Amino acid sequence: MKNKYFILGLLIAAFSACTTEDLNLTPEGKELDVTYYKTESQLQEAILAAYDPLQDIIWGGNYFMYGSIASDDAIGGGADATDQKSYQLADRFILEAYEDKEDNMFQFYRSRFRMVYRSNLIIENADGTSEFGKKAIAHANFIKGLAYFQLTTLFGGMPIIDVVANPEDKFPRATQADTWAAIEGYLQNAITGLPARSGGIDPDGLATKGSAQGLLGKVYMYQGKYTEAIEILEQVASNPEYSLEPNYADVFWPATKHGRESLFEINYTATDPGAAWDQYNNGTAVFTLCGIRTGEVGMGTPETVSFLWGWGMNQPTPKLAKAFDDMGDLIRKNNSIISCDSVLMVSPTTAFQNSITGYWDIKHVRRRGFFRSSTQVNAPILLLRLSDVYLLLAEAYANKSDETNALKYLNLVRKRAGLADATGGSDLLTKIKKERQLELCLEGDRYFDLVRWGDAPTELTGEEYDAGGKNYTTGKPGVSTNGLFPIPQDEMNQIGNDPNFPQNPGY
């Protein structure tokens, strides 16, 4: 293949979980690539392996936390201003490309290309004429679409890798437009082969046709393709298999995995994987990472407090709390954030640590009965849900000057929150934007919404507790970087001085 500029770290990422014990040159009872991917059980294992890097987020591979902490929803928090470095730098708009192979952002970058590599193995080797082969290829396309969506929203145009790469292969960075086009193709292919939800159950607990449709609609919205977004998102909205949870709290309750509102989520269990601090364990530490920081002590009793201590990251801002109060939105506020004062009312002896804002994230918190340890938490991370689809539809219709349909979907979401119907007018789009902030707060959409709307310079002006007084206009990520994060420096070091793979502007 010609004109290929490959990221060397890609192949390293694909095998990063290997140890010296794995490197037997003579296979012992194992299939090679040329003989694997043939049976249904083999393909099922391959599908799960391709999804697996989504779970590699014990520390910094948390896409939603970058989208939350870099926005006005939340700040880094944690133990101090050095806890989880890339989060803290993004929060303060002083992010740079720095060298650290254990850096959160580098690990995230590697894990998403690991998803691409494993998906390509399926696409290249599965029998596309068999029923299960078609299904496996559809899953692989969804996984690639999701991986590239997260990569391109953070880093811009990415190398489009559609073959099982060899170590000597090189791939240039594609443009942002070409990356979006590739994602559209992957998701369109996924839609044709993924199973549909039936009877309120997601087959295999993995992505469904609705997952791919919802994500494709979001991809269209990020490009301002409103007509295309409406066409695909209406298919999700009209599907009787999906509906809003009547109770907003149930959206985030671990016992309601794959509920009526869920389009796609990352699954976890609390089973013992062996090493408690292994980042590849079955549970997720995210809910401990974001929990109320109390010095790792119990909080109240099971009768008074349903959640336990954590490490205090993703702390909601007073600005977010005020936005709830200004809207009179108690239902969503009380199930999204909690103040120190509220905790003390039910757990008077709680001693908080590094409470910078006075608020904590309770969408991502360990719940009693759904964990074994700090890192083995049995709770899903929602990546896409129906209320997001409704608000994207409202936004698309508003941009098409269809006020009736815009209000239809906006008010479906407001009704569940106990709010009166919104009315139309010249400020309709502003109302939809505010609704997205309150409905989806702390879930990772806010930063990317503000950037795509062009509202980041006016909304991300910094808070009084941000070090250095930097903001989106004067800092990084920001205006000078087109809102993009830096390609991790260790990745750039491996690429070398290659004009076909430049660093993002401003870094």
> Is the confidence at residue 6, as pLDDT, over 60?
no
Question: What pLDDT score was predicted for residue 379?
Answer: 83
Q: Which one-letter DSSP state was computed for residue 471?
A: -
Question: What pLDDT score was predicted for residue 2?
Answer: 32
> Is the confidence at residue 18, as pLDDT, over 80?
no
Residue 480 sits at φ, ψ, to 5 deg, of -70, -15
**Mean pLDDT for the stretch of residues 213-224:** 98
Q: Which stretch of 7-11, 88-92, 146-150 has the lowest confidence by average pLDDT?
A: 7-11
Cα 55 from chain centroid (whole Å): 11
Q: Which stretch of 208-217, 267-276, 411-420 has the lowest confidence by average pLDDT?
A: 267-276
Is residue 436 a contact partner of residue 57, using CB atoms and an 8 Å limit? no
Helix (H) or strand (E) holding 292: strand 292-293
Over residues 28-65, the pLDDT tens digits come to 445 556 678 989 999 999 999 999 999 876 566 689 99
**Mean pLDDT for the stretch of residues 327-331:** 98
CATH topology of domain 8-17+34-193+483-495: 1.25.40
Cis before residue 477, ω within 30 degrees of 0? yes
Closest alpha carbon to 429 in 456, 402, 463, 448: 402
Over residues 253-302, the pLDDT tens digits come to 988 889 999 999 998 876 654 444 344 456 788 888 999 999 777 677 87
Is residue 471 a contact partner of residue 319, using CB atoms and an 8 Å limit? no
81 burial (CB, 10 Å; 0-12 / 13-18 / 19+) is: middle
Q: Which stretch of 101-115, 128-142, 296-310, 312-326 has the lowest confidence by average pLDDT?
A: 296-310
Quote the pTM value.
0.91
Question: What pLDDT score was predicted for residue 22?
Answer: 36
**Mean pLDDT for the stretch of residues 488-501:** 93
Over residues 87-99, the pLDDT tens digits come to 999 999 999 999 8
17 burial (CB, 10 Å; 0-12 / 13-18 / 19+) is: middle
- The whole-angstrom separation of Cα 465 and Cα 456 is 19
| In the chain, domain spans | 8-17+34-193+483-495, 286-375
